[in-house]
Structure 1
């Protein structure tokens, strides 16, 4: 608790994370949690609130193997979101626990559904990384509405 309370900023934030998953209490503080926090602070330029906010939504993110956290960061980097930006934590949350194959499949689906080029997908994901978490059905409906009913151009939607 001495480590978690200052990190989470309040008992309520810590409790919210625990309600989603108790893995924070069962993970090794010295070998898993602390190395993940140090990596996210030093290598990614994230502050405590930037680390904690995605962890409240995906609490096991801090409690996962440190090597997997590095893989998540690399995936977020490939989305084109600059480290240290406010959007980077959303990118981490979007790619948390998605395999490379699932991300690639979603990128292909975005290209086909919105008629985007690879560059336009990068633009869209850098501005809205949570697109990776939206269901294919929902993306299809949004695409039909924006392209067919509203008549927007694919590039405009990507931006």
Structure 2
């Protein structure tokens, strides 16, 4: 998939969107996995790919609204909320997604949900990830460390990266204070 999208990015934005859609025709599991679809959409959009909002059409019901059963997938809704902030003017599905997810995320905070997930939800509602300075988000390494599905290798890389950046800042501060 990466080679196909990378080569089409050089050829034009519409080609990248077509390559994405063609690649995902066989990914039926993704049409049922909101978290995976929203995460992939967000990452590709953040990196400049013109991915169509229609990838979220499979999560809508016959009436045109988002399926009510999605409210049970808090991580999926959270990821869709973050992805909705990468909308382009006039993308009605993403505008509707933002309203739908915000309402459900605010509702889940009033319920008894996992403490770490509640921290992530309230953090996202405060200010979407796309609008934040990513280096300042390192303080959420602790929250990631406490999750059940934590990947120890990714956690170790995140800590190493954080420590390397901190060391560089300390060097710069020493140099500047001379």
Normalised to the residue count of structure 1, the TM-score between the two structures is 0.31
Higher relative contact order (CA 8 A, sep 6+): 1
Q: State the structure with more CA Rg.
A: 2
